Amino acid sequence: MRCIPLARVIKPKEEGAAEICYRDIAAGNIHDLFHTRLSIHKKACQHKTVNAIEMMITEALVKAEPHFTIEGKDGRESTISKAIDANDMVAYTKLTDRVYYQILYSSDKGLKEAREILQKIEQRKLYKFIGYTIPKDIPDEKDASAVQKEIFDIVKDKAKELKEDDIVVQLTPFKYGGTDDKDPVDNVLFFAKDNDKKSFKIKKEQVSRILPEVFFEKEIRVYCKEREPTMIDMMKEAFRDWCKDYGYKTFYSYSEAEET
Among residues 104, 109, 106, the alpha carbon closest in space to that of 123 is found at 104
Per-residue pLDDT at 87 exceeds 80: no
Distance CA 22, CA 7 (A): 4
Q: Give the pLDDT score at 14.
A: 74
Q: Give the pLDDT score at 137.
A: 82
pLDDT in tens, 192-223: 999 989 999 999 999 999 999 999 999 999 99
Q: Give the pLDDT score at 16.
A: 79
Per-residue pLDDT at 258 exceeds 70: no
Distance CA 89, CA 98 (A): 16
Distance CA 181, CA 198 (A): 28
Measured CA to CA in angstroms, residue 95 lies from 63, 68, 156, 179 at distances of 16, 12, 39, 31
Distance CA 239, CA 232 (A): 10
Per-residue pLDDT at 257 exceeds 90: no
4-67+108-251 topology per CATH: Alpha-Beta Plaits (3.30.70)
Distance CA 88, CA 140 (A): 37
224-229: list long-range contacts, CB under 8 Å, 24+ apart: 224/127, 224/128, 224/130, 224/162, 224/166, 224/167, 224/168, 225/127, 225/128, 225/165, 225/166, 225/167, 225/168, 226/128, 226/161, 226/162, 226/166, 227/125, 227/128
Average pLDDT, rounded, for the chain: 92
Confidence of residue 254 (pLDDT cuts 50, 70, 90): confident
Distance CA 215, CA 213 (A): 7
Least confident residue range of 27-31, 80-84, 105-109, 166-170? 80-84
Distance CA 58, CA 62 (A): 6
pTM of the model: 0.87
Q: Give the pLDDT score at 69.
A: 93
Q: Give the pLDDT score at 95.
A: 92
42-50: list long-range contacts, CB under 8 Å, 24+ apart: 42/174, 46/172, 46/174, 48/129, 48/132, 48/221, 48/254, 49/126, 49/129
pLDDT in tens, 138-187: 877 689 999 999 999 999 999 999 999 999 999 999 998 877 788 999 99
Q: Give the pLDDT score at 86.
A: 67
